[in-house]
Amino acid sequence: MGKTREVAAVVMVAGLLVGVAARAQAYDAVEVKDGGTISGTVKFAGAPPARKALEVTKDKEVCGKEKHQSLDLIVGSDKGIENAVIRLVDISKGKKWASTQAVLDQKGCIYKPHVVVVPAGGDLKILNSDGILHNIHTYSKLNASINKAQPKFKKELTEKFTKPEVIKVTCDAHAWMSGWVIVSDHPYVAVTDEKGAFSLKDVPAGKYKVEIWHETLGKSEKTVTLKPKEEAKLNIELAKK
Amino acid sequence: MRWWGRGRGKKLAEEQSLRVVFFVSSMMFVVVTGWAIWNEEATRRPWKEYQGEFNRLEYQQVLQDLAAERSKLDTPEVRAVRAKLQGDLQAAQARLAGPEYSKAQKRLAARQAEYADINLRAQFIKSELEEALYWVEHAIYEKKDTKRPKATAMSMEKQLLEMTPKVDAVSTRMDEAQAEVRRFRADVDTMQAKINELVAPVTALERRLASIKVRSPEVKQVVVKGLAINEFKEPILTVDRCTTCHLGIDRAGFEQMKQPFRAHPHREILFGKHPIALFGCTSCHQGQGSALEVDSAHGEEKHWERPLLRGNFVQASCRTCHVEEREVLLAPVYSQGRQMVEELGCFGCHNVPGFEKLPRVGPDLTRIASKVDPSWLFRWIKEPRAYLPKTKMPNFQLSDEDVLNIAAYLLSASQPMPELRGAFKAGGSVERGRDVVSRVGCLGCHRIAGMEPKGQPSEGPSAVPPSSSAATPSQDETGAPIVALGERASKPARARLTAPPPPPENQDFAPDLSKIASKVNADWLFSWVKNPRHFRPTTRMPSLRLSDDEARAVSAFLMTLGQKRPIAGVDQEVKKAARVAAGERLVRKRGCFGCHDIKGFETAEKIAPDLSSYGHKRLLELFFGEAVEVKQTWEDFTFWKLKNPQIYATERVEQLMPNFGFTDEEARTLRVFLRSMSTQRPQAQFERKLSDEELAIQNGRGLVKRYNCNGCHVIEGQGGAITAFYADKTKIPPPLEVGGLHEGEKVQATWLYQFLGRPTPLRPWLDVRMPTFGISIEDATTLTKYFAVMGKQRVPYEYVALQEPAGEHLRAGRLLMSKDYFDCFSCHQQGEKKPEGPPEGWAPDLSLAKRRLRPVWIAKWLKDPQKVQPGTKMPSYYPGGPDDVLGGKEDRQIQAITDYLMHLGER
């Protein structure tokens, strides 16, 4: 059973990479009618800590243009947490990925965006807008770890991740740089904006487990019941552990 | 009996009838004969029953195999193949029987006849030519006219010349016909062969089945021209009949069978290297090879001196031939025992063959007075484990009086301390000291309570990179030995079986420092950490090149660990001359000098019995004393002697051996080694000599252990326990030998040799320092050779062959490394030129590369660093080098960078 599934997945991925949305394993893309929306905010419980200034120790003429502040916990106005990831866990059917690729830029020695969502099996385009040596060093368990240099002459790299996973990315040349790649096999995944807001659209009606992940505050889970064409509100509070 | 007596009286002897007597005695003879046959056949041949049972078992097994093979033949695919082959065969046979074939045969016959005909004619002409030539010669000899005979000869020769091509043509035609006929036959033969091949396994099994059925019982024996030689230097012949019952010993499929039919464990390896025909059974297992009953064959009867070696004891036999080896692959218990002897220093008191040249295992006591105070010394000798629970110093179970005397002698014989440069001054910062101790590398060997590991050692990507193929032999250490064996077969380097370095919590390579202040004084400590060899030239403790300031801080910190506990009166007692004299006698009697250097005992003889033939000691040679609770066997005697030597002490017989506090397991392990102690030597051709490479590895491993390189570095996939003390994994010492990473392949041997002797910092971001061990030239050479062999480098000292590269090549290399391309110096240092940013982000100095790295390795590393050392910070640049340098050809670019590095700083 598991074997046939795997084979099917491989065939599907291989086929889908050509152009359509890429999916892995048990997720079926169908047309969603009368879908609902899950939206809400992720907020910080307690007094928000101030962001620390990061010292730029190297390549100051490129990296030092703007001030660097720590990105591991950004609490905006109204205590909204930026860069938290909201993802449905147990969904097996739903809409297609709208895109097959994502872009991660290295600009001013900062990963932009700090958290990037990539479809499983899709491409991650990694840009080097700085024109200095960076290297992409990922720490992953399910996907193969990579550590590739991206020197000045290499403006663009393309990487593929096939299995859903949360992967840390660092640059060994610039110790302060850190980012995250979220690989998902379905499109119901969102990263909160600076107000901590998110929304997942066109979700088929049903009861779902929602996973909330944040690099500093960890993982938690909520359940949500969604009726057709309605909007379910989900307001989450995270605190320091 | 009366009828007999009566008869005697009446008749003459000749007239008496002996019918009855004759009848009775013949009947008795018949019965006895019957009994003898029955006894011989049925009761005195237990092995026949075993053979019968084995035949049944084997029959069953073959039957099963046969069924499996037949079912394989029965699958639709195979059946289709067979049907097709059968069809082809029939077709070929039909052709053989058909008109084509007979036509071809007829053609052949006709041509053969034609050839015979023409050939005969040619032969005749040849003969006539010979004749004509004779007449020519004859005419010359007789001095007659030669014209006519010559003309005849000429005409004959001409005829023959005309004839020859015709003969050849006919011959060729005959061969063609022959080939055609053969082709018909060949078709049939190949088809038949193909079919036979398909059913071959089945036929083989069927034949085996048939042979089992008709097999008659027989005694099987191997006559072995033994390993050993007798007093007259002749090999001792032995007859081993073990395989009469142990029938499945070398047979696949019998691994799980009940005894006596089970196959030998690790059969392929063991029998591969030790064929039964050459070694027999008893040369390893002992027992009585010629006997055919269970107990007597196993030698487990009275007066047989070599009973079967059961369980782990059989490993003791390996030593007979493998005496040079420290680790015998399939004898882990023996090897472990050998290692224990080496570490515990049993050879200090006993003569143990193979350990004659080792240095004493305990510290030098010739300057003990400047290091410890009398009260500590008293407590230590009395009960060493109270201070260091894991110490190897045994407990001599001495009275307080004796302990005082020994302490008195040791202190009085102590030499003054060498003069110090710089001294301990109070006021060193304890906090700084703690910091230094926790960072510079003390924890690679020592443990200190309160400084606990921060995480799992040897895990996580950067700590011990798991090899990409998971093929590090040593990581499978805990697996079945056979796994390691497989590895061994595929690698020249020998897989390692015994005693991996213990996990950090069990590490006791160097003393635990948790209570150090109760033992030593600050002045001594300062001088010691500054330069250990200054105080004791033979110590293994290396110098960490601490500055005076650091050494002061370290001493200040260490002096906060524990407290002095003076015992009232001891200081005065140890000065008494009577005690000193009594102490000297005690040191001599108990053999303290076996492990320690003590003044006055430099040439003293070993105090304990020679162990060189201990394995063959007979019961009457073992002194059980009054220990009636100990069973009267060699095994039990030895076990209890190790566990508690005092058990054999009586009022009249003292036991001098101290108590080592062995666990049952340790005692059993040592016992296996002791069993191997034998003076019997095998014939020279059986002695296993280590090859140069094997010796280099064995000696290297010995030194790695001696200097505890494993405390900091991962070597052969093991060790690196210090890693656990660093939360930041960029701060750990580099691994040396794991997965695809081989120090000997990476660095130039001459550099490594120099570095071992006098290390220079390579990685300024590390707090941990490569210590200066002050090792001897021999040791540095041995280690260099070890790493070279592990890295599959043949020669330890090599000439790094460098061609003068073209200027264009060097320019390309420089360009590739520049900021516009790979920007290597963004992280790498180049001599005095340091990269931007904090040292944590730096990488090794590339100006050292030309003296340090092997160019071949540089190229391998550049091509795919992650493959060599998974998890490294060095990113991969290839594939995907720039298109506008050296035509975008990667190999040329890598070569250019390598060449540039090997010439860096020259122009």
Task: Examine residue B318 and state whether it is found in any structural domain, yes or no.
Answer: no
Min Cα distance B745 → chain A (Å) is 23
Task: Compare A4 and A214 and report the one with higher pLDDT.
Answer: A214
Provide ipTM, 2 decimals: 0.78
Min Cα distance A157 → chain B (Å) is 10
Token pair, residue A128, equals: 């080097």
d(CA A3, CA B504): 42
Look at residue B643 and give its three-state secondary structure: helix
Q: Tell which residue, B441, B351, B431, B345, has the closest CA to residue B394.
A: B345
Q: How many CB pairs below 8 A link A and B? A: 67
Token pair, residue B329, equals: 């692959």
Q: How confident is the model at residue B460, as a pLDDT?
A: 36
In chain B, residues with a C-beta closer than 8 Å to the C-beta of A172 are 827, 841, 873, 875
In chain B, residues with a C-beta closer than 8 Å to the C-beta of A57 are 836-838, 841
d(CA B650, CA B634): 20
Which chain A residue has the Cα nearest residue B885? Answer: A153
DSSP string spanning B520-552? Answer: B-HHHHHHHHH-HHHH-TT--PPB----HHHHH
- Which alpha helices (H) appear in B476-633, and where do they start and end? 481-490, 522-530, 532-535, 548-558, 570-573, 577-590
Domain identity same for B439 and B521: yes
Q: How confident is the model at residue B350, as a pLDDT?
A: 95
Interface of A with B in 124-163 (CB under 8 A): 132-133, 135-137, 139, 145-149, 151-154
Judge: A145–B461 Cβ closer than 8 Å, yes or no: yes
d(CA B852, CA B904): 12
In chain A, residues with a C-beta closer than 8 Å to the C-beta of B765 are none
Residues A54-71 have pLDDT tens digits of 888 888 888 888 888 888
Task: Select the residue of B836, B872, B876 nearest A57 (Cβ to Cβ).
Answer: B836
Q: Tell which residue, B835, B874, B837, B844, has the closest CA to residue B760.
A: B844
In sequence order, what E strands does A95-184 have? 101-107, 110-112, 115-119, 123-128, 134-139, 147-150, 156-160, 165-170, 178-184
Q: How confident is the model at residue B3, as a pLDDT?
A: 53
| Intervals of chain B under pLDDT 50 | 1, 456-495, 497-498
Task: Examine residue B843 and state whether it is found in any structural domain, yes or no.
Answer: yes
Strand duo A115-119 + A178-184: pairing? parallel
Task: Select the residue of B838, B875, B877 nearest A57 (Cβ to Cβ).
Answer: B838
d(CA B644, CA B665): 14
Q: Tell which residue, B494, B511, B396, has the closest CA to residue B449.
A: B511
> Exposed e or buried b for every residue in B481-517, given b needs 16+ CB within 10 A?
beebbbbbeeeebbbbbbbbbeebeebebebbbbbbb
Q: How confident is the model at residue B784, as a pLDDT?
A: 93
Token pair, residue B165, equals: 């091509």
Range of the structural domain that residue B290 is part of: 222-308
Domain identity same for B697 and B813: no
Q: Tell which residue, B883, B885, B864, has the closest CA to residue B875.
A: B864
Q: How confident is the model at residue A16, as a pLDDT?
A: 44
- Residue of B826, B863, B866, B885 to mutate, interface with A, max A Cβ within 10 Å: B826
Min Cα distance B836 → chain A (Å) is 5
Q: Is the peptide bond before B502 cis (omega within 30 degrees of 0)?
A: no
User: Cα angle vertex B800, ends B796, B803, to 5°?
Assistant: 165
Task: Examine residue B365 and state whether it is found in any structural domain, yes or no.
Answer: no
DSSP one-letter code for A213: E
Q: Are A5 and A25 in contact (CB under 8 A)?
A: yes
Q: Which of A98-102, A188-192, B675-679, B897-901 has the lowest mean pLDDT?
A: A98-102
Task: Select the residue of B870, B872, B876 nearest A149 (Cβ to Cβ).
Answer: B876
Report if pTM > 0.90: no
Q: How confident is the model at residue B801, as a pLDDT?
A: 66
Judge: B836–A172 Cβ closer than 8 Å, yes or no: no
Token pair, residue A171, equals: 């640059």
In chain A, residues with a C-beta closer than 8 Å to the C-beta of B874 are 147
Task: Examine residue B770 and state whether it is found in any structural domain, yes or no.
Answer: yes
Q: Tell which residue, B858, B836, B840, has the closest CA to residue B904.
A: B858
Domain identity same for B178 and B121: yes
Domain boundaries along the sequence of chain A: 30-238
d(CA B530, CA B19): 112
Q: Which residue has the tokens 């490394």?
A: B817
d(CA B506, CA B724): 13
Give the domain-ending residue among B519, B540, B558.
B558
Task: Compare B640 and A35 and report the one with higher pLDDT.
Answer: B640
- Which alpha helices (H) appear in B292-389, and where do they start and end? 294-297, 332-344, 374-382, 384-387
Q: How confident is the model at residue A7, as a pLDDT?
A: 54
Give the domain-ending residue among B213, B237, B260.
B213
Contacts of B518 (CB under 8 A, 6+ apart): B376, B387, B562, B563, B564, B565
Domain identity same for B180 and B84: yes
Q: Tell which residue, B276, B264, B286, has the closest CA to residue B223.
A: B276
User: What total number of domains does chain B contain?
Assistant: 6
DSSP one-letter code for B729: G
Domain identity same for B296 and B170: no
Domain identity same for B777 and B853: no
Q: Kindly report the backbone phi and psi dihedral angles of residue B52, in degrees, each rounded to the nearest multiple of 5, phi listed first.
A: -60, -45
Strand duo A231-238 + A218-226: pairing? unpaired
Q: Are B586 and B407 in contact (CB under 8 A)?
A: no
Min Cα distance A87 → chain B (Å) is 27
Domain identity same for B226 and B168: no
Banded pLDDT at A48 (limits 50, 70, 90): confident
Domain identity same for B180 and B276: no
Mean pLDDT of A5-29: 51
Class of A30-238 per CATH? mainly beta
pLDDT over 70 (residue A77): yes
Task: Examine residue B763 and state whether it is found in any structural domain, yes or no.
Answer: yes
Domain identity same for B232 and B128: no
Domain identity same for B133 and B154: yes
Note the Cα B825 to chain centre separation in Å: 44
Domain identity same for B79 and B189: yes
